[in-house]
Amino acid sequence: MHTPASLRVALCYPSSYSVGMSSLGFQTIYREIHLHPGAGAERAFLPEEPGEYRKNRTPVFTYESETPIYDFPIVAFSIAYELELPGLLEILDLSGIPLLREDRTDKNPLVLVGGPLTNSNPAPLAPFADIIFLGEGEELIHEFLDAAAGMNRNEMLAHFSARRGCYVPGMTPDYPAIAKVEDTRLPAHSQILTQHTVLASMFLIEPERGCSRGCTYCVMRCTTNGGMRLVSPEKVLSLIPDNARRVGLVGASVTDHPKIREIVAKIVASGREIGISSLRADRLNEELVNLLAQGGYRTLTTASDGASERMRRVVDRKTTEAHLIRAAELARNARLQRLKLYEMVGLPGETVDDIDELIRFSLELAKITPLSLGISPFVAKRNTPLDGAPFEPIPSLDRKLSRIRSGLKEKVEVKPSSARWAWVEYMLAQGGEDAGIAAMHAWRAGGSFSSWKRAFMTHEVKTFMRRPVPDGR
């Protein structure tokens, strides 16, 4: 563990470079490691072409020095959501690092795992991680690097097993509360601008963290780490580098920032393009949408989440039909190409009437401006009021999705995500360590849907599912 001059960390993203470098959390930890005296991070990813390393028997190596990650004393992962778990297994396996923590010795790197997934359910990560950081990692990483410079593996595990925000599988008795950093550490922002990312050449910055609202399905709701924490416009603007031609404002609830108009106006006035990760329909107005159009927007994207007004009320989502009609009008008036709406189907208590309302209302919106619907099945997450709510059976979801598609045929673009893969996500979101072991078997068996289904059944994976509650709370 001890390295005299420099402590090297292989910082891995369990997907390709283009996806990983679009993650603000990943970039933030990369910067924090470099800020730590005597420490340095090198980044590693899976290949853009899936299976390429396996075909060529290439161990995963770092982007900076092309060193195989098994040569590093510490291998750290940032993991955003459940279906990235197989990517973590693939990276460890390609590198000859034992997948299971109990099979590792002093000769293997210490495997540290953190990232947004740890806000909800880290349990399926536990068979594979030596240490898990829960929640916000910007301060914990410095304590970790200090410890790693002076302690051996066992001392590290013992130290972090009793630390708030850390979970050492096999040692920490229960999952502790997630970590929260001092507000002075905000905002997170990009370290590196690169053309080869999903958000090409975009400088990412977080003008606020968390959310003050209370949607009952959402991990980032007001009860998480004290709700919304704001960064001043001056601070946000001062951190944007001169060479950034595009700026992405990232956060759970960016348009709820009380100074959002001022921040956007200054960025657009400087001739830069703008992107915002979360536009709330009830916060849109003519001035903001016109600024977005000036800043290069072609599609106005927001979420309504519940299929009907009734379902939105059930989950405390404050978006109304009036807000969405206004959003469509604003998009049309600003000459944007379309409105894109994210929807969820399969919330507890949802009926065919709710789906029919979604169809009727989408047709209404499409008369105002071209409309796309991105539809995902509802997946209950831990640490939310809807934790433990059941997953609607796949055939029933498929019937609802076909009803929506045929009801909106040729009038609205419909992009549903797969009900089958949402079920896999659900099993991992609601499962314990046995769900992680099942994931390893499914990945070894090729990762098809049937291999996941078989693995969950064979390993008798239990979820935290509770009986449906009629009003969804």
| Residues in the chain, total | 473
Which lies closer to ligand SF4 via its Cβ, residue 211 or residue 260? Answer: 211
Which amino acid type is present at position 194?
Answer: T
The residue written with tokens 């979604």 in the block is 358
Q: Minimal distance in Å, beta carbon 220 to ligand SF4?
A: 4
- Within 8 A by CB and 6+ apart from 379, the residues are 391, 422, 425, 426, 429
Nearer to ligand SF4, 163 or 312 (CB): 312
Work out how close the CB of 429 gets to ligand SF4 at its nearest, in angstroms, rounded to a whole number.
15
Residues 5-24 that bind ligand SF4 (CB under 6 A): none
Q: Which is nearer to ligand SF4, 32 or 208 (CB)?
A: 208
- Compute the least distance from the CB of residue 256 to ligand SF4, in Å: 8
Exposure string over 19-33, b if 16+ CB within 10 A, otherwise e:
bbbbbbbbbbbbebb
Q: Which is nearer to ligand SF4, 204 or 211 (CB)?
A: 211
Minimum distance, C-beta of residue 342 to ligand SF4, in the bound complex (Å): 10
Instruction: Select 181 or 211, whichever has its Cβ closest to ligand SF4.
Output: 211
Q: 242 to 271, contacts with ligand SF4 by CB under 6 A?
A: 252-253
Q: In the complex with ligand SF4, which residue's Cβ is closer, 121 or 253? A: 253
Nearer to ligand SF4, 114 or 385 (CB): 385
| Least distance between ligand SF4 and beta carbon 6 (Å) | 39
**Site size with ligand SF4, rule: CB under 6 A:** 8
State both tokens at 27. Answer: 């970039």
Residues with Cβ within 8 Å of residue 260, at least 6 apart in sequence: 207, 249, 254, 283, 288
Q: Is the bond leading into 348 cis (omega within 30 degrees of zero)?
A: no
Q: In what order do the strands lie in the sheet with 110-114?
A: 39-46, 7-16, 74-78, 110-114, 131-133, 166-167
Sorted by sequence, the CB contacts under 8 Å of residue 87 that are 6+ apart come out as 13, 14, 15, 46
Q: How far is the CB of 210 from ligand SF4 (least distance, A)?
A: 8
Q: With binding defined as CB under 6 A, does residue 327 bind ligand SF4? A: no
- Interface mask (CB under 6 A) for ligand SF4, residues 201-230, using x and -? ----------x-x-x--x-xx---------
Tokens of 173: 């008795």
Q: DSSP state, 227?
A: S
CB of 253 vs ligand SF4, minimal distance in Å: 5
Minimum Å gap between C-beta 219 and ligand SF4 is 8
Question: CB-wise, 316 or 434, nearer to ligand SF4?
Answer: 316
Rg, the chain, Cα only? 23
Q: What CA dihedral angle connects 278, 284, 286 and 287, to 10 degrees?
A: -60
Point out which residues bind ligand SF4 (CB under 6 A). 211, 213, 215, 218, 220-221, 252-253
